[in-house]
Amino acid sequence: MSANALPARLAEIRDEFLELEEPDRLQLLLEFSQELPEVPVEYADHPELRERVVECQSPVYIIVTVDTDDTVAMHATAPAEAPTTRGFASILAQGLTGLSADEVLAVPDDFPQSIGLTRAVSPLRIAGMTGMLMRVKRQVGARRAA
């Protein structure tokens, strides 16, 4: 993965993980799970705007917006009893929100493999985070084309 292509906030998150020993990375992931931002009120009562991330074993839904100034916001819901998945959603929501559409589309597809958790969590969980990222990028591309 090219570090140059990674936006500053995602690079910072990746570096936070890589600076830790593997067991401590899981603790950091748990902390991220507790920091998943709430879905804004204007979307809370509109489940039709949410997209299910079927790659995740837990019921995870995302909402992606692209403002008129090309700024992306990612919102996600994930159950509290799925802290790994919730942590991954939080990493992406915090790392992608505020970026331009071009910056989001340029995020390397293998970002989830770069944060040092591939041995600490199951490949299925990493695939779930990759699925979230791919869906965000697809939605951003679709909103730009509209």
pLDDT, tens digit, for every residue of 100-145? 999 999 999 999 999 999 999 999 999 999 999 999 999 999 988 8
How many C-beta atoms surround the C-beta of residue 106 within 10 A? 15
> What separation, in Å, do the N-terminal and C-terminal C-alpha atoms of the chain show?
30
The pLDDT assigned to 44 comes to 83
Q: Would you say 104 and 136 are in contact if contact means Cβ atoms under 8 Å apart?
A: yes
pLDDT, tens digit, for every residue of 54-101? 999 999 999 999 999 999 999 999 999 999 999 999 999 999 999 999
Determine the Cα–Cα distance for residues 111 and 93; give it in Å rounded to an integer: 14
